[in-house]
């Protein structure tokens, strides 16, 4: 079937943006103050693929619902109508924000120009990784043992696990570390393996005979985010126990607000945050530690 004109126009724009941006560091541009969300560049392949997926959904809506077949006939308010429709379909605030960002990149405008205000994402509304969902029924823990064990033992993101190579494993005095982990915002970190998973992770990685640990795409029904939460909690407890054993002072000087109130040691929470690849302690506490300690 022949590709519709608006679909092809959108794809061509995204492809040009990706060709211009690949190989350049978005992180360096941010540091130099030359990065703009409205720039004509896409730096990461994942971003390109995500925006392509969202743009295809929008193009279908524009053709079939609005009768728009050429990009020149598109109005910014049309994007707002689509976002309202998607919100009515049950899209989460984060999904709506991604959809808006994708079309804003194509049209080189701000997502606020669509006349649609994305709802605020509240942590208490997040269901995935905290409650049993239908997708969880597909998980065969025995079949996916290696992925789950390394995910639980390292707290790495899905994309980081997908890139993992056996040579990244380093062992110091019996303790396993995953080195050279490329995370968000250009951050590169070394990840300590949890003590209780240490031997299992070493064994799994050492037996690997392929260039990458997981050559095939990690299934979406494996809830990697929940394993990051488990890792964060266990790593916090591990660091806490080590400090107590050394007789170091524990200060409960970080207090959360809202419905779930807990008090944590800010320094330990900061170490956990760094291990997970986050710059801000608040992100780690809100999305990982807060609900695991509640």
Q: Name the domain boundary from 94, 121, 148.
A: 121
Q: What is the pLDDT of residue 46?
A: 84
Residue 130 lies in a domain: no
**Which CATH number do you get for residue 197?**
1.10.443
Query: What is the DSSP annotation of the chain?
Result: -PPPHHHHHHHHHHHHHHHHHTTS-HHHHHHHT---TTSS----HHHHHHHHHHHHHHHHHIIIII---SGGG--HHHHHHHHHHHHHTT--HHHHHHHHHHHHHHHTS-GGGGS--PPP--GGG--TTTS--GGGGG--TTTTHHHHHHHHHH---HHHHHH--GGGEEEETTEEEEEEEE-GGG-EEEEEPPGGGHHHHHHHHHT--SSSS--SPPPTTS-HHHHHHHHHHHHHHHHHHHHHHTT------EE--SSS--EE-HHHHHHHHHHHT-S-HHHHIIIIIHHHH-
State the chain's mean pLDDT as an integer: 87
Q: What is the pLDDT of residue 125?
A: 52
> Do 101 and 148 belong together in one domain?
no
Query: What is the span of the domain harbouring residue 117?
Result: 5-121
> Do 219 and 265 belong together in one domain?
yes
Based on the structure, what is the number of domains in the chain? 2
Q: What is the pLDDT of residue 132?
A: 52
pTM: 0.64
> Do 83 and 166 belong together in one domain?
no
**Which CATH number do you get for residue 55?**
1.10.150
Most confident of 4-8, 94-98, 178-182, 219-223: 178-182
Q: Name the domain boundary from 66, 95, 121.
A: 121
> Do 169 and 279 belong together in one domain?
yes
> Do 205 and 270 belong together in one domain?
yes
What's the pLDDT tens digit per position in 167-222?
999 999 999 999 999 988 778 999 999 999 999 999 999 999 999 999 888 988 89
Residue 53 lies in a domain: yes
């Amino acid at each position: 079937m022949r590709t519709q004109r608006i679909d092809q126009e959108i794809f061509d724009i995204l492809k040009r943006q990706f060709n211009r941006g690949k190989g350049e560091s978005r992180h360096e541009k941010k540091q130099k103050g030359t990065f703009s969300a409205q720039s004509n560049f896409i730096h990461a392949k994942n971003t390109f693929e995500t925006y392509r997926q969202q743009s295809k959904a929008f193009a279908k809506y524009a053709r079939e619902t609005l009768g728009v077949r050429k990009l020149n006939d598109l109005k910014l308010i049309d994007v707002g109508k689509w976002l309202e429709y998607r919100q009515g379909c049950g899209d989460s605030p984060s999904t709506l924000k991604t959809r808006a960002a994708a079309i804003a990149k194509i049209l080189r405008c701000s997502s606020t120009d669509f006349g649609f205000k994305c709802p605020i994402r509240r942590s208490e509304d997040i269901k995935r990784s905290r409650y049993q969902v239908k997708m969880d029924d597909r998980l065969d823990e025995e079949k996916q043992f290696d992925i789950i064990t390394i995910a639980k033992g390292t707290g790495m993101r899905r994309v980081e696990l997908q890139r993992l190579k056996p040579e990244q494993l380093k062992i110091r005095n019996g303790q396993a570390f995953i080195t050279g982990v490329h995370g968000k915002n250009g951050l590169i970190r070394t990840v300590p393996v949890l003590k209780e998973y240490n031997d299992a992770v070493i064994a799994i990685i050492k037996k690997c005979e392929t260039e990458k640990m997981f050559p095939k795409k990690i299934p979406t029904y494996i809830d990697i985010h929940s394993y990051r939460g488990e890792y964060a909690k266990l790593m916090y407890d591990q660091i806490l126990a080590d400090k107590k054993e050394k007789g170091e002072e524990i200060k409960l000087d970080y207090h959360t607000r809202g419905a779930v109130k807990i008090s944590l040691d800010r320094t330990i929470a900061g170490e956990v945050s760094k291990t997970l690849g986050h710059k801000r302690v608040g992100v780690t506490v809100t999305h990982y530690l807060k609900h695991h300690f509640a």
